[in-house]
Every structure is written in structure tokens, then in C-alpha cells.
Amino acid sequence: MELAIDTSTRFASIGLSSQGESVVELTWRSERNHSVELVPNIMRLFKRGRIGVKDLEAIYIATGPGGFSALRVGMSAAKAMAVSLDVPLIAVGTLDIEAQPYLGLGSPVCALVGAGRRRLYIGDFREGAQPVYRVIEHGELATAAQADALFCGEGVPQVTELIRGAFGDDAKIANASLPTRHAGALGALGYMELQDGGIADAFSLEPLYLRSSQVNTANRTWRGRG
């Protein structure tokens, strides 16, 4: 059994999976209480899944972009469990998790997460190409995204009018009902990464924070996965 932990933003999601197939998950809105809520909810998840912590064979963790405190709580818990249980730790970018349900549907995917101060983290996913991750201003969205892209992610509600203004009423916008991320998507991506041997170093892995130095460098790219 594998445990997926995503505390990238105010919406947290944790889940159990078996070889990447979701078994049970728990998603909730947490303003500033990740540190209070995460461990009790993991215990609740174990109870619902009828497993113990020693049954875990891998830990999947969302690495951001996200909020400083939120990401730190999830990352610390994932690292501690991976080290204490001596199981693989797999890092997956938050934009990859946002995009995962929409990949393979025939359109490029543009995943968005708000970065504060009218900025966005954007993940550009195109078939046959490596994803590109950038930081842009709201006003740059029209030139940063493809007209035929499907827009998804927690940042979409902030810029829905901008998307429609730039690409028309026929712009493809995924259902932006919050929360937009679920641990099942992280579990699927994490298992793929595990099969590819993409095991993270629990001692050196660091999250990508919303207000990190990357935000000040427009159009900077980074690896979405640890």
C-alpha cells in the first residue's frame, strides 16, 4: 500500500493506493491548520483503509508550488515516515497533479496555481513534449498559453475572465470547483515515477514555495518533479 500526501495549498488531500490505483482518500479545506489536522487525518485514513503504518511500501509527496507552511507540514511528515519505515519517497510537482486528470484527452493542458500578487504558476503540458513550468503575470496569460489548451487547476477561478477575454467564450476550461486536486491523481503519478526509479532523497528534497525567489523571475522554468 502507498500513501499520497498533498498539502500544497489550503486544500489538502491524502490517500491510499495499491500500485497507483486509489483505494481510499480524504480531502479537506484547511486555512492554516495543516500542522494540526494532517496527522489525525492520516490516522483516520489508515482506519478507513484498514491498514497500519507498517503496511506502507512507498510515500508520494506533492512538492509544490504551494504555500510555505502548508508544504512544509506535508513534506516533513512524508520525509519522517519514509525514513522511519525505510520506504521510497516519491516527489511529484503540484502542477503535474493538477494536469493529470486531463492528459491524453487530445488537447494541450495548461495547469494554473495562483502565486500571489497577480502572478501565476503555469504548467504547459503538450503531447510528445516535456512539460514547461513558468511564473507569469496575469496579463501574460494570453501569450503564455495556447489558444486550444484546456485550462485547469486551483488558479483558474482567479483568471477565468482573462481566459475568456483572450481566447473567447469557446475557451476550454475544466470544472474549477474547489478542490481541484485529489490524492488519487498523486497516487497514479507517484506510482509511475516509482516504476521509473525516480526515488527522491529524503534528506535533500525541498519544496517549491509560492513566494520563493522563483516568483521574482518571470518565465523561469523548473522541474515539476523532485
Average pLDDT score over the chain: 90
Residues 100 and 87 in one domain: no
- In the three-class reduction of DSSP (H, G, I as helix; E, B as strand; rest coil), residue 19 is classed as coil
Q: Are 99 and 143 in contact (CB under 8 A)?
A: no
What is the value of pTM for the model shown? 0.90
Q: Are residues 100 and 168 in the same domain?
A: yes
Instruction: Report percent pLDDT > 90 for the chain.
Output: 78
- Residue 206: what pLDDT? 92
Helix (H) / strand (E) element for 123: namely strand 119-125
Q: How far apart are CA 30 and CA 138, in angstroms?
A: 26
Report the domain count for the chain: 2
Look at residue 83 in the predicted model and tell me its pLDDT: 98
| DSSP for residue 107 | S
Q: In 10 A of CB 184, how many CB atoms? A: 23
Whether 147 and 184 map to the same domain: the answer is no
Has residue 222 been placed in a domain? no
Q: With 80 as the cut, is the pLDDT of residue 195 above it?
A: yes
48 and 83 in a single domain? The answer is yes
Q: What is the pLDDT of residue 141?
A: 93
Dihedral angle computed from the Cα positions of residues 184, 190, 192 and 196, in that order, rounded to the nearest 10 degrees: 180
Based on the fold, state whether residues 31 and 61 are members of the same structural domain.
yes
Residues 138 and 36 in one domain: no
Asked if residue 49 is part of any domain, the answer here is yes
| Dihedral sign, Cα of residue 193, residue 99, residue 127, residue 129 | negative
Cα 35 off chain centre by: 18
Residue 177: band (very low, low, confident or very high) from pLDDT cuts 50, 70, 90: confident
DSSP for residue 151: E
Domain holding 24: CATH number? 3.30.420.40
Please tell me whether residues 55 and 21 are part of one structural domain.
yes
Q: What is the mean pLDDT of residues 173-193?
A: 94
Structure confidence by residue, pLDDT tens digits, 27-81: 999 866 888 999 999 999 999 999 999 999 999 999 999 888 899 999 999 999 9
Q: Mean of the pLDDT values across residues 146-175?
A: 93
* Residue 203 Ramachandran class (φ > 0 left, ψ -120 to 50 alpha, else beta): alpha
Q: Are 76 and 88 in contact (CB under 8 A)?
A: no
pLDDT band at 107 (very low <50, low <70, confident <90, very high): very high
The whole-number pLDDT of residue 80 equals 97
- Local structure of 189: helix, strand or coil: helix
Q: Which domain holds residue 12?
A: 2-94+180-216
**Cell numbers for 147:** 489558444
Looking up cell 489508515 gives: 46
Identify the band that residue 216 occupies on the pLDDT scale cut at 50, 70 and 90: very low
Which 8-state DSSP code applies to residue 129?
S
Q: Given phi > 0 = left and psi -120 to 50 = alpha, else beta, which region is 197?
A: left
Q: What pLDDT score was predicted for residue 67?
A: 86
